[in-house]
Structures are given as C-alpha cells and as structure tokens.
Amino acid sequence: MNIIFFGPPAAGKGTQARIIEEKYGLKQLSTGDMLRAEISVGSELGLAAKKIMDRGELVSDEIVIGMIAKRIDSPACAKGAIFDGFPRTVPQADALEKMLAERGKKIDIVMELEVDQDMLVARIEKRAAEEGRSDDNIDALKVRLEQYNDYSAKVLPYYAAKGEVHKIDGKKAINEVTAQIEAILQPEAEARAAG
C-alpha cells in the first residue's frame, strides 16, 4: 500500500506518518528528513541543499527523485511507503509513478492534511523553539507557504485526475487526525489482507 501525505509546512505529516508507519508496517519516506540527514553529515549534496532549504525554496527534482529511487527497493518498503513531502512537482509525480509502475505498484491513497495558515505560523514557532530547524523562521515559512500554494495547485489536480484526494482536517488533535486517516486506510488494508 503506497500512500502520499500532502499538506503545508507543519501540517503534521511527519507526526502522522510515524504513527501510521508503525501500525501498518509501512515505511515513511520524507525527502525533507533525507535532506536534513545529508546536511547533518555534511555531504556535498547537503551543503548544496541547505542554502536552498533555508530560503524555503525547492531543491532540484533530480536530487529528490534520486533520494527516493535509492530507497524504494529497500526491504523496509516491501509492504509499501508513506511519501511525505514528495512529490512536490509534476515531474516528481511522474518519476514516482514510473518507478512504482516498473515494480508493478502504484499510489493507492492520496491524503491532503488541511490546516489554517495562522495555525501553521504558531506551530512553526513552537517547532523552531523545540527543534531549531534553520528553515523554521517567518521569512522562510512565508516562502514555504507560497511554494506550497503554488505546487499543490499543480500536483493535487494531477492526483485528483487519477482518483480521489482524501481531505483530512489537520486542525484537530493528533489522535483525532490519526482516526480520520485510519478511517481511510483501514478498509484498504483489510481488502489487501483478504486478497
């Protein structure tokens, strides 16, 4: 079962992905986390990406597609993946579709976490204090929100044309958001278990 979590910065994608990954045996693939890991080991890729990420802009399709391609065949992904923060562009969506099709797989569920902008600002401020991410500041957040509005207007219709995009109310408490997500995942997981 392959799932995409869509949503603005600090919508709670990562939090939910980590809960769902354990419960359903799926693997969270977060391009943002992968890029931050590259930065923390000081790789060349990380150094190049950091400048872009700190401005809130998108790193190149080539880089993020490459990072996903490197992991898609890992045993952890055997039961499926939760794509978090990827795809952010139509070329990324096309590349993902091709990668999955080559393996006889597809995206089964697309979810969009919806959160109001003022709530996002509050969450980012809290996360900045807790985690110290260098792109969690108001200037970068503004750009990230603009980018999100921009790319979601292209990528969401891409998936809507193929099937449903499930809207999740991301303003609720963490466990209530999880419950909404599970209401969509559970029937799909049961159908699979039944073969």
Active site residues: 13, 88, 127, 133, 144
Q: Are 127 and 10 in contact (CB under 8 A)?
A: yes
Nearest to 18 by CA among 151, 181, 158: 181
**Residue in 131, 133, 150, 129 with CA at minimum distance from that of residue 8:** 150
Minimal distance, residue 135 CB to ligand ADP, in Å: 6
Residue (80 or 87) nearer to ligand ADP, CB: 87
Work out whether 12 is an interface residue with ligand ADP (CB under 6 A): no
When asked if residue 95 is in the footprint of ligand ADP (CB under 6 A), the reply is: no
Nearer to ligand ADP, 3 or 10 (CB): 10
Q: SS3 for 103? A: coil
Q: In the window 28-87, what residues touch ligand ADP (CB under 6 A)?
A: 31-32, 35, 52-53, 56-59, 64, 85-86
Residue 144 or 189: the one with the smaller Cβ distance to ligand ADP is 144
Which two structure tokens, joined as six digits, stand for 129? 């204090």
Dihedral angle sign, alpha carbons of residues 41, 47, 48, 51:
positive
**Contact between 17 and ligand ADP (CB under 6 A)?**
no
Size of the site for ligand ADP (CB under 6 A): 18
> Should residue 10 be labelled a site residue for ligand ADP when binding is judged by CB under 6 A?
yes
- Interatomic CA distance for residues 77 and 31, integer angstroms: 15
2 counts as binding ligand ADP under rule CB under 6 A: no
Q: At what angle are helices 90-101 and 138-160 packed, to 10 degrees? A: 50
Site for ligand ADP in 108-167 (CB under 6 A): 135, 144
Q: Which residues pair with 30 in a beta bridge?
A: 84
The secondary structure element, H or E, covering residue 166 is strand 165-169
Closer to ligand ADP by CB, 45 or 184: give it. 45
Least Cβ distance, residue 32 to ligand ADP (angstroms): 2
Question: Helix, strand or coil for residue 132?
Answer: coil
**Binding footprint of ligand ADP on the chain (CB under 6 A):** 9-10, 31-32, 35, 52-53, 56-59, 64, 85-86, 88, 92, 135, 144
